Amino acid sequence: MAHPENQKPATRAVPLLSPHQLPAVVPQKNGSSGFTHFDRRLHSSVARLTGGVSPFAVSRAWSDWAIHTARAPGRQTELLLHAVKDAQRLAGYAMQQSLGKRPEQPFQPRPQDPRFRHSGWDMPPFSFWKQGFLATQNWWQAATRNISGMEAQDTDRLEFLARQMLDVASPSNIPWMNPEIIEETVRASGQNLINGAWNFWNDYVQTVTQSRRPAPEGYQVGKDLACTPGKVVYRNDIFELIQYAPLTDQVHPDPVLIIPAWIMKYYILDLSPHNSLINHLVQNGFTVFAMSWCNPTVEQAELSLEDYRRRGVMAAIDTIEKIVPNAKIHANGYCLGGTMLAIAAATMARDSDDRLASITLMAAQVDFTEAGELLLFLDESQISFLEDLMWDQGYLDRPQMARTFAAIRAEDLIYTRAVHRYFLGREDLPTDLGVWNGDTTRMPARMHSEYLRSLFLENRLTAGRFAVEGPVIALKDITARMFVVGTERDHIAPWRSVYKAALFTETDLTFVLSSSGHNGGIVNEPGHPGRHYRIGRRHGDDLYVGPDRWLEAHDPINGSWWTAWIQWLEESDGALVAPPTMGAPSQGLLPICDAPGSYVFQD
């Protein structure tokens, strides 16, 4: 029998999108006219300069606001009075503070904004600059809302753009206006600025050369991170399947399959041993399999969304069935991996395939009408712009993805970090999550175009228009139990959007709302201080309860939701059994190499 990594799966054209909706992202360079070719090259060059953001989307938001504000004299008067009121509050604060008093600050930064935490910002003249900036921020926040006739998407875009514009001009970014920088410069006799200049040069060289920093000591992948013992038992051109070695004499009869997002490396779920979800499962007696996606190159530009379902998720399920026969699978999908799991599960339900014991979706959306700031600028213009960029490159590159994520929390991930590195001269403190966050991947051109169009732009999955192998699929066909996790401060998959899984399914569903954000709320190991979660169960015949009512009805519980999830998994399991073999030698599935495999090291 052929070795798994040499097997060639059968290929079949699957009309996920109709031909007129699926643009040729890569291969038709030769088939395009010379004029079209020229335009796409031009758009690709512009996209590299703008970080992949369409200038049309930006200009449309500003023009929409300007036109509707210009025709609304009442709204103009309201904003003028708002500015006068803010100026009066500022003047009153400045006057009292100049007299030696300690008045209450009229404007406060957002809770997640770390730029003004130094005590020097509460003393003049720094307090005046801080309050002036926050007052301007407050006015722009008011100016970009409640504009009659303005498109809701443009309103959200403009608020985001105004915040980005103001973040650039923040006094915290200016050395002689930042008390923390001044204090450190005096203390270090300017050495912090020398160190900062060296940090800036290193970052500049890394950006220009697109090189990676070596992992710091104590954070080596395969040694310190992604170090749960196991074997790669299957490999094709899209993913490696890792089977983890048992740590208990007996295991639960039904294995767990981890399906990570393909935007980043899989080991977010296998970080350090103490906060590894995979290690936690193995310690609790589960046989665990995890998919490690490849980092695609230009030769894989034509990988499709259907390839990721059929030759990815379904190939993993087929392999696990051979290794652990007569068992059902607890499938767990994180972020886009969860979305793909939902698609696969609905397809399996349609086809009467009952191999799933349960479905867990972690920070994963099935409905994209409230997709969060990550997709704020997503429209036809934006997708076409990205398609031209990917047509030229063959993929969406790592820095282009990283800049998008950083822009969502610019005050923290961009400007605060820049101040610390370039003006305070401090190195980034290494963390396992930080090392993983820098280990970015590429996105195949066709697949990226397909999911942006079919899921994010057209929301086909919950609209009953998502076709797999011909017929459409429906989430309500799923009968396996579901465990859905949202996180309170998620800017990528807002928890109210994640909660919509309860609206479009009819099976037994447990919903958990975890503290922290998209990553921290999932990597939420027992014993982590300050963490909490809320949990509630919806039986299949219960009426739908909206997210806000659900929030009011469920009090926070201190601790980690991992404990509740383990208990939930155990509810449907039978008696413990002996661990399965590593791979299935009789089926031709011999272990290929040690975990974490080879794909995780692809640059």
Nearest Cα neighbor of 389 from 10, 4, 26 is: 26
Q: What sign results for the dihedral spanned by CA atoms 293, 294, 295, 299? A: negative
Residue 225: phi and psi, rounded to 5, are -110, 155
Q: Cis peptide before 596, with omega less than 30 degrees from 0?
A: yes
Strands laid side by side in the 230-235 sheet: 557-558, 532-538, 509-514, 481-487, 356-362, 329-334, 256-259, 288-293, 239-244, 230-235, 593-594
Q: 485: which residues sit within 8 A by CB, 6+ positions away? A: 360, 361, 362, 363, 498, 511, 512, 513, 514, 521, 522, 561, 565
Chain center to CA of 528:
22
88 in Cβ contact with 94 (< 8 Å): no
Q: List C-alpha distances in Å: 535 to 483, 512, 553.
A: 10, 4, 10
175 in Cβ contact with 192 (< 8 Å): no
First to last CA, the chain: 32
Report the alpha-carbon distance of residue 425 to residue 192 in Å, rounded.
4
For the chain, what's the residue count?
Answer: 603
559 in Cβ contact with 533 (< 8 Å): yes
Report the alpha-carbon distance of residue 174 to residue 409 in Å, rounded.
19
Cα angle 486, 258, 466 (rounded to 5 degrees) comes to 70
Report the alpha-carbon distance of residue 162 to residue 140 in Å, rounded.
7
Cα angle 11, 351, 281 (rounded to 5 degrees) comes to 85
Q: What is the DSSP string of 466-530?
A: -BSSSSB--GGG--SEEEEEEETT-SSS-HHHHTTHHHH--S-EEEEEESS-TTTTTS--TT-TT
232 in Cβ contact with 240 (< 8 Å): yes
Query: Catalytic site residue 593?
Result: no
560 in Cβ contact with 530 (< 8 Å): no
CB atoms within 10 A of CB 297: 12
User: Which tokens is 309 given?
Assistant: 């379902």
Chain center to CA of 54:
21
Options 227, 294, 335, 593, the catalytic residue: 335
Backbone torsion region of residue 464, taken as left when φ is above 0, otherwise alpha when ψ lies between -120 and 50, otherwise beta: left
Nearest Cα neighbor of 140 from 60, 70, 65 is: 65
Report the alpha-carbon distance of residue 438 to residue 213 in Å, rounded.
9
Positions marked active-site: 335
